[in-house]
Structure 1
């Protein structure tokens, strides 16, 4: 099964076809980034998106009293 950490299979296969991921030699159900720089760039974007989402969760709109 290709589903990893909540990522749908079609998204993972798109990343494979796009050249970002490849099937690992240890098994067809494992994927790896094609290059360490690709991995770092993707994780940087993921962490940035998480930080923005976390900050947005902390922002509250004033209540109308």
Structure 2
């Protein structure tokens, strides 16, 4: 995929999205798998597996 003159593959874009997810400022601290679930419309098990696929801790508490 070519974006603004730079070449990206979809997998690297997914990883960037997962690593940079944060809850909204008015939300409490949340675990990463829940952010992934809500952002991608996945079930909890698929969201957990997606975190693991990119070597992210699904249970990491992510602050706004």
Greater RCO (CA < 8 Å, at least 6 residues apart): 2
Q: Give TM-score scaled by structure 2 length.
A: 0.29
**Larger Rg: 1 or 2?**
1
